[in-house]
Structure 1
Amino acid sequence: MKHQYRSASLLTGVLWACTASAQGVDSTAAELAPVVVNASADASAAGLAPEYAGGQVARGARIGLLGNQDIMETPFVSTAYTQEFIQNQQARSVADVVQNDPAVRSARGFGNFQELYVVRGFPVYSDDMAYNGLYGLLPRQYVAAELLERVEIFRGANAFLNGAAPGGSGIGGAINLVPKRAPNEPLTQFTTGIESGGQRYLAADLARRGGLDDSTGVRLNAVRREGGTAVSGEKRELSLFSLGLDYRSTDWRLSADVGYQDHHLDQPRPSVTPSGGIPSAPDATKNYAQPWTYSDEKQTFGTVRGEVDVNDRVTVWAAGGMRVGKEANVLANPTATADGKTTTYRFDNVREDTVHTGEIGVRTSMESGPVKHKLSAVASAYSLDSRNAYAFSNFSGFSGNLYSPTSVAAPAADYYTGGVLSSPKTTEETRLSSVALADTLSFAADRAFLTLGARHQTIESKGYNYGTGAQESAYKKSHVSPMAGLVVKVAPRVSVYGNYIEGLAKGDVAPATSGGQAVTNAGQALAPYVSKQKEIGIKYDGGRFGGSLNAFQTTKPSAFVVNQTFTEAGEQRNRGLELSLFGEPVRGTRLLGGVTTLDARQTKTEGGTLDGKEVIGAPRRQVNLGGEWDLSAVRGLTLTGRVLHTSAQYADAANTLTLPSWSRYDVGARYVTQVAGQAVTVRLRVDNVTNRSYWASVGGYPGANYLVLGAPRTFVLSATVDL
């Protein structure tokens, strides 16, 4: 894979560089030699898939236990966004990256500021993302982009490939985040920046290789952000440190990562729950948050992965990791009527997590006559110990208005409590374990690939009383998730594919009563919910420009009471078409984007009252188109632009509340030059250039219909220097 490490400087240095260039200093665009990285983030011999033409996406991505796969040889759709693209967009978090994908939209966790990603109409919680293939290791609410070499988005159900997500999401897709590794050439890179509201930014990215044949690599990233945002009164702080290590030998490889992230928000603008109607979107620069609200998250995490070539055909790998996290929030999320009048109460909560996760696996290859086999087997385990406490103020709350917000004194959070905020008890334990086996068969001189496999998954969880710590619930169920996928290369540049694959999530526990009557199976745990996906598609790889077109259907079950018995009886059905485009069709012109059309329906509802109604927060159409143009008239100057469109979506299950459609336009530029022999890159981006005020999302968390206001026009300026 290639990297063009462009450089940077402090803002004062940038201004000097631009002035010096005008006065005759060599402003020739820095010609940075491609860096070939043999070290691999996943400790595999092949390394990561190479970049596609244009450098914005890669030619392949990790497909669960199957490992890294070329886009033309896998029966799924996935996109891997590169570190170069992430840096050029000045992405702050994973949400900024996934906004480039036409099948994905960003939302927010229920009641807090957790980033949440909606893929094919289903949520992927941020704590259900994988880090180098392992669940549960990443910061739970917000993941800074500087940690990442790649953001890999897999579209579709994936229980066989990755195992069930511990938080119960991931039905519509999965996100795997790939850590950085040291390239072959030394890297000493500093970036500084500023954005609307006074947010200041400083980052360092350092890497070296050493030892015999440069076998050992070290990469260090450090980031600090602080200051206001484009939203009035809102402040954000981020401190990040990560260290990536790798060692490569002739027949074995080892990598390790350790990281710490401290993310703090003061007076963050909250989500809004509509009541009786959708209020018009307030001025995007206004803040209806109370000044005493905040969100704080501190996470420490580490992982290690190793791979050994037993012989030419057999490779064994193992990986493990751990995360320790602490969160504290003081929240006040308003409920608003159609005219913008609000009622709000205070909600405090704390959470402390300890996660352990790991896997072991083996891959081998063999031939049976004209058929080639690639066999993979893996065993995985995950455990979470979560300690929680909460406190509410009086639910009658205090009144206000979205359009003319006022501050009130913080009410006491002593009306309804669970546990002790200063010393939370264990309230949840989750254990996941699985064993999976896959065989990819290749026929007809590697023009056809058939993948078959199954994963046996066990989901176990226990719930405990917030106050006493006594166990109140227990769940332990198992399921086998099969998968079948076929790829046929019908022409050198064209592949057609199809798949059947399932999603898996923990079933619910029957309530004690329903409608004032006793439930006959109260306390019974239902079997895991099995989502079923069917998909067909076609892919094109023109060498410099590629794309895919596919159709899918996913059904997701749910449960409710039928004749006073709690049973799996409900269903959601999502059907869609996806078109994706990427690459550099003309040298100096790069395109990235596509269109998703979605028909997400409630097909089996209690009493049939909502049958045929659309799902909350599932727009029928999403359009993304981004472009970059290298100006030949000004060497080193690149102009960028992007349009995002999301059609109208419903904000209630009965489809009586409608969120308007919205479109957002982003523009930018970057300029690469040399100053005193150092490569300097200046980047400018303006998001929401028309300063449109709009509700960006509704829902996100199943059954919730809260609204998230889009950010106002935001200027981001940064500069990078290589030393």
Structure 2
Amino acid sequence: MAAQKNRFLKTRLHRAISAAIFSTGLVVSAGVSSLAFAENTVQQETREQVTVAAGNLGKTLTDIAVRHRIALSFDPALTQDLKNTAVSGNFSPLELIDALLEGTGLIMTANPDGTYSLMDQSNYTMSGLAVSAEQIDDSVLTEYKGGQIESGGRLGTFGEQDSANVPFSVVSYTNRAIEDQQLESIAEVLASDATVQAGHGFGNYAEKFMVRGFALDSDAISYGGLYGILPRQIVSTNAVESVQLLKGSSAFLNGVTPGSSGVGGTINLEPKRADKDLTALTLDTTAEGQVGISTDVARRFGDKNQWGVRVNALQRDGNSAIDDENREETSISVDVDYQAEKFNVSTDVGYQKQTIDAGRSVVYSGTITEVPTAPNATTNYAPSWAGSELESVFAMVRGDYELNENWTLNAALGANKNKEYGDYGSPTVNSANGDSTLYRISVPYEYNTIASSVSLLGDLTTGQVTHQLNAAYSGFVNKTYTAYTMSDTSAGNISNTNIYNPTDIEYLSSSSGEGNMDNPNIQSKTDVKGLSFADTLGFMDDRLLVTVGLRYQEVNVDYYNYDGSFDTASNDSITSPIYGIVYKPSDKISLYANHIEALQQGGLVSKHSFYNYSNGGKVLKPYSSEQNEIGMKFEDGTLGAGIAIFEITKPEAYGESGGLYDYFGEQRNRGLELSLFGEPLTGLRINTSATWLDPKLEKTKNGTNDGNYAVGVAKYRLALGGEYDLRTVEGLTLGGKIIRSGPQYLNASNTLEVDPWTRVDLNARYESSIAQQDVTWRLNITNLMNEGYWASAVGGYLTQGNPREIKLSLSTEF
């Protein structure tokens, strides 16, 4: 998406200013007149799917100009010995020429008489101002051929960074990947990455992730680098430009997350921007009858196109692929930006509402001695009254001011208001035949956050050493409000069901509860502040980059009783270091290593009778996690590849009914990651990754579980994905994905092992026209074989994988 965006920016810039510097004396012409060009402007701006083979640049450009009647002139000396790379995508003829010129040092300029010329980029000036690639391209990220993956992302206080220049592993999935595969949630997007394993939250419908074998809650996903701003449980993708995955500990870069998950990695979402004028409409449906409509409208205004507005809206409703489950979603976002020479500011406002009826959530383990076989993929073992309504309003303002050519000041402020209500009923399975018990708990939950960040980024040179400096503040204040009622959980009063042959249990009356269900009182207030400073020193013409830094982190939490009265508090701080190194033996290869330490919030031990912890109400101390990592990256714009070896340790808290809940030992994950993505052959795009983990428990209480595998962590994961543009059928693309997940354990004693599983997905895309209007058909089938499997044991409970779902959509742009 970024490369296509840059081509639009280049084209707009060239045509706006090059008419004033028309050059004469050009030798070779494509042989068509400017009058013919003017008559065929509409033809030249019409986009179509094209594939151009690698070859002689001059001949390729001449062939395109003649075919599309473009008056293009250039000196043959400019293209002598230059080759064009293979290009495939949806382009107008002028955009195609811009794409072929990328990396050649040449640019196409528009002349006053309607013709075009090629010029050496280094000689392209106007009023004494040199127009360089850096000025035209406002993205620091490398987009791989095929447009579905970018190398890099927003790294907290470091801002947007290309992966090749930082001692971390980070990758971004673009909006094109989201659209082409009809990915409706963040979990669906990240299913393509073997590093990430997804499940549900405890008893609810929240997306919960495992990254490098450590939990990442959905409310710890950042938005433009700010925590706590997005909807808390499920985030729609319709207004997302990119999903950026940072693998590994990130507390130095981003600060402490809400809830303090994310030791093994974090996710950042970037909103869409009005890069070009756009009016798009998509209609979608599933085999089960769920129907959706979405629009995406973008415009730029002003004499210099300095103002941009982008509006995304989505409405979807209907039955899911799970028996009797219904989901409805409404999502609206408005993004406004202003771009000046030295000052950029953007405002993003969003609204999201999701309603889930008869929602299948998770399965708890009771008195089982082995993990039962997963039910049929479509079986819904939740009662008909189980469900949730999730509503959120969120906003963010971000500004960047260029103080001078070396220093930039960035600031961001965001806020949200989440309101949820759920009637939850998840079975507890007690035997291999599926016999289970079930109770009801109803919870209103409100979650409000204000987050902010300020950073100063700059560079300077001392002797032969360059410095990339950043000083930053980041923090958030989060308040939660809740209450609950629940049915009787005493022996003999819990309703019986079976996960293979479920009973639709009637709504269970309340026997206990706390707080005001209509107007819940405050439950907690979290105030997190962090100050950081880092310097990346460049040696040997920046082929060797050494990053050192310190972060001061403060975490203050107040806890309240259900009646709103103050209960207890937790206050702690720490100063932690970061060390990183990147060495580039060539322009395409980066070797890196890092060491990161981070402070995480400890949390309050539950006082709920369901858990019966003897120290209920106690606040656990904040804890520190550590990461060491080495790796190698390869990037050439066509292919990206990486290998990483890492070790992450964190204290492990757990407890048993009637006993203490406290830190007992630590979880130590060692792992190996491999990845390969891009477009190695014209029309063939791949995205493949693999992860092997050794997630062990150490220093456990009385040594009972020493050497056991950590709960809910798959020992290995493979994700093999790709697609191919069929040459025999113009406009048709076929693709698919195979996910293989290894065994994992449901308990710390490792007596309950969850079987490995394999899932196969297929997708197809066809670009055609209806009544001279370009349209794109998309067909996606997830879980082709309709396999019933336990996708995750994260949290010590079971999340079942979704059944086969067939999605069809029709999209067009006006």
TM-score norm. by structure 2 comes to 0.81
Query: Which range moves more in the overlay, 371-380 or 551-560?
Result: 551-560
Could you report, residue by residue, the CA deviation over 1:112-133 in whole angstroms, capped at 9, with x for unpaired residues? 1101111000111110010000
Alignment check: 8 A CA contact 1:27 1:674 kept:
no
User: How much does 1:570 deviate?
Assistant: 1.6
Alignment check: 8 A CA contact 1:27 1:675 kept:
no
Alignment check: 8 A CA contact 2:767 2:774 kept:
yes
Could you report, residue by residue, the CA deviation over 1:194-246 in whole angstroms, capped at 9, with x for unpaired residues? 01321111000000000121000000000001000111100000000000111
The letter of the residue matching 2:521 is K
User: How much does 1:503 deviate?
Assistant: 3.2
**1:193 and 1:328, CA in 2 relative to 1: closer, same or farther beyond 3 A?**
same
Alignment check: 8 A CA contact 1:228 1:235 kept:
yes
* Equivalent position of 1:605 in the other structure: 700
**1:493 and 1:201, CA in 2 relative to 1: closer, same or farther beyond 3 A?**
same
Helix, strand or coil: the match of 1:445? coil
Helix, strand or coil: the match of 1:619? coil
The equivalences for 1:209-220 within 5 A come to 209-220=300-311
Alignment check: 8 A CA contact 1:508 1:559 kept:
no
Could you report, residue by residue, the CA deviation over 1:24-48 in whole angstroms, capped at 9, with x for unpaired residues? xx997484345999xxxxxx99446
- Pairwise CA RMSD of aligned residues? 2.4
The correspondence for 2:200, drawn from 108, 118, 121, is 108
Hey, what's the Cα distance between the residues in 1 that align with 2:662 and 2:373?
A: 39
Alignment check: 8 A CA contact 2:246 2:267 kept:
yes
Alignment check: 8 A CA contact 2:142 2:637 kept:
no
Q: Which has the higher contact order (CA 8 A, sep 6+)?
A: 1
The correspondence for 1:404, drawn from 494, 501, 504, is 501
User: How much does 1:712 deviate?
Assistant: 1.2
Q: Which has the larger radius of gyration?
A: 2
Establish whether residue 84 from structure 1 lines up as the match of residue 143 from structure 2: no
Hey, what's the Cα distance between the residues in 1 that align with 2:258 and 2:495?
A: 37
Divergent runs of 4+, >6 A: 509-512, 515-519, 564-567
User: How much does 1:675 deviate?
Assistant: 2.8
Alignment check: 8 A CA contact 2:142 2:162 kept:
no
**1:659 and 1:310, CA in 2 relative to 1: closer, same or farther beyond 3 A?**
same
Alignment check: 8 A CA contact 1:290 1:407 kept:
yes
Establish whether residue 454 from structure 1 lines up as the match of residue 546 from structure 2: no
Hey, what's the Cα distance between the residues in 1 that align with 2:506 and 2:152?
A: 53
User: How much does 1:649 deviate?
Assistant: 0.8
User: How much does 1:517 deviate?
Assistant: 12
Establish whether residue 426 from structure 1 lines up as the match of residue 427 from structure 2: no
Hey, what's the Cα distance between the residues in 1 that align with 2:280 and 2:692?
A: 41
* Equivalent position of 2:412 in the other structure: 319
Helix, strand or coil: the match of 1:485? strand
Hey, what's the Cα distance between the residues in 1 that align with 2:613 and 2:584?
A: 59
Could you report, residue by residue, the CA deviation over 1:172-201 in whole angstroms, capped at 9, with x for unpaired residues? 0000000000013x1000000101321111
Helix, strand or coil: the match of 2:188? helix
Helix, strand or coil: the match of 2:304? helix
Hey, what's the Cα distance between the residues in 1 that align with 2:661 and 2:753?
A: 31
* Equivalent position of 1:129 in the other structure: 221
The equivalences for 1:94-105 within 5 A come to 94-105=186-197
The letter of the residue matching 1:73 is N
The letter of the residue matching 1:599 is D
* Equivalent position of 1:333 in the other structure: 426
Could you report, residue by residue, the CA deviation over 1:462-506 in whole angstroms, capped at 9, with x for unpaired residues? 11111x211111011001121010000122321111000123211
The correspondence for 1:301, drawn from 394, 402, 407, is 394
**1:199 and 1:147, CA in 2 relative to 1: closer, same or farther beyond 3 A?**
same
The letter of the residue matching 1:449 is L
Alignment check: 8 A CA contact 1:170 1:503 kept:
no
User: How much does 1:604 deviate?
Assistant: 1.3
User: How much does 1:407 deviate?
Assistant: 1.2
Could you report, residue by residue, the CA deviation over 1:92-146 in whole angstroms, capped at 9, with x for unpaired residues? 1111101111100111111111011110001111100100000000000000010
**1:50 and 1:508, CA in 2 relative to 1: closer, same or farther beyond 3 A?**
closer
Helix, strand or coil: the match of 2:145? coil
Hey, what's the Cα distance between the residues in 1 that align with 2:302 and 2:5?
A: 24
The correspondence for 1:54, drawn from 131, 141, 146, is 146
Hey, what's the Cα distance between the residues in 2 that align with 1:333 and 1:103?
A: 28
User: How much does 1:541 deviate?
Assistant: 1.7
**1:28 and 1:464, CA in 2 relative to 1: closer, same or farther beyond 3 A?**
closer
* Equivalent position of 1:202 in the other structure: 293
User: How much does 1:687 deviate?
Assistant: 0.7
User: How much does 1:279 deviate?
Assistant: 1.5
* Equivalent position of 2:602 in the other structure: 507
Hey, what's the Cα distance between the residues in 1 that align with 2:806 and 2:47?
A: 25
Hey, what's the Cα distance between the residues in 1 that align with 2:782 and 2:560?
A: 45
* Structure 2 residues not aligned, in runs of 5+: 7-45, 51-89, 100-135
User: How much does 1:61 deviate?
Assistant: 1.2
Higher helix share: 2
Hey, what's the Cα distance between the residues in 1 that align with 2:653 and 2:515?
A: 30
Could you report, residue by residue, the CA deviation over 1:435-466 in whole angstroms, capped at 9, with x for unpaired residues? 11111111101111111111101001111111
Hey, what's the Cα distance between the residues in 1 that align with 2:267 and 2:545?
A: 24
Alignment check: 8 A CA contact 1:234 1:266 kept:
yes
* Equivalent position of 1:371 in the other structure: 465
The equivalences for 1:478-557 within 5 A come to 478-508=573-603, 527-557=621-651
Helix, strand or coil: the match of 1:333? coil
The letter of the residue matching 1:208 is R
* Equivalent position of 2:53 in the other structure: none
**Number of equivalences:** 684
Hey, what's the Cα distance between the residues in 2 that align with 1:591 and 1:664?
A: 17
* Equivalent position of 1:252 in the other structure: 343
Hey, what's the Cα distance between the residues in 2 that align with 1:517 and 1:489?
A: 53
**1:209 and 1:50, CA in 2 relative to 1: closer, same or farther beyond 3 A?**
farther
The letter of the residue matching 2:630 is I
Could you report, residue by residue, the CA deviation over 1:247-306 in whole angstroms, capped at 9, with x for unpaired residues? 000110001100000001000112111221311111111111111111110000000000
The letter of the residue matching 1:462 is D
The letter of the residue matching 2:792 is S
Establish whether residue 345 from structure 1 lines up as the match of residue 439 from structure 2: yes
Alignment check: 8 A CA contact 1:478 1:527 kept:
no
User: How much does 1:166 deviate?
Assistant: 1.7
Alignment check: 8 A CA contact 1:3 1:84 kept:
no
* Equivalent position of 1:463 in the other structure: 559
User: How much does 1:310 deviate?
Assistant: 1.0
**1:340 and 1:565, CA in 2 relative to 1: closer, same or farther beyond 3 A?**
closer
Query: Which range moves more in the overlay, 259-268 or 354-363?
Result: 354-363
**1:292 and 1:568, CA in 2 relative to 1: closer, same or farther beyond 3 A?**
closer
* Structure 1 residues not aligned, in runs of 5+: 6-25, 38-43
Alignment check: 8 A CA contact 1:130 1:175 kept:
yes
User: How much does 1:524 deviate?
Assistant: 7.4
**1:560 and 1:639, CA in 2 relative to 1: closer, same or farther beyond 3 A?**
closer
Helix, strand or coil: the match of 1:87? helix
Hey, what's the Cα distance between the residues in 2 that align with 1:230 and 1:48?
A: 40
Hey, what's the Cα distance between the residues in 2 that align with 1:508 and 1:178?
A: 29
User: How much does 1:523 deviate?
Assistant: 7.9
Could you report, residue by residue, the CA deviation over 1:341-390 in whole angstroms, capped at 9, with x for unpaired residues? 01000110011122111011111111110000010011122111111011
The letter of the residue matching 2:293 is L
The correspondence for 1:634, drawn from 706, 718, 729, is 729
Alignment check: 8 A CA contact 1:215 1:247 kept:
yes
The equivalences for 1:682-721 within 5 A come to 682-699=777-794, 701=795, 705-721=796-812
**1:95 and 1:517, CA in 2 relative to 1: closer, same or farther beyond 3 A?**
closer
Could you report, residue by residue, the CA deviation over 1:589-623 in whole angstroms, capped at 9, with x for unpaired residues? 01102110000011111111000000111111100
Establish whether residue 676 from structure 1 lines up as the match of residue 768 from structure 2: no
Could you report, residue by residue, the CA deviation over 1:310-353 in whole angstroms, capped at 9, with x for unpaired residues? 11111111110110110000011100122100100011001112
The letter of the residue matching 2:784 is V
Helix, strand or coil: the match of 1:167? helix
Alignment check: 8 A CA contact 1:83 1:149 kept:
yes
* Equivalent position of 1:290 in the other structure: 383
The letter of the residue matching 1:425 is N
The correspondence for 1:391, drawn from 480, 485, 496, is 485
Could you report, residue by residue, the CA deviation over 1:633-675 in whole angstroms, capped at 9, with x for unpaired residues? 1111000110000011111110000111000000110001133
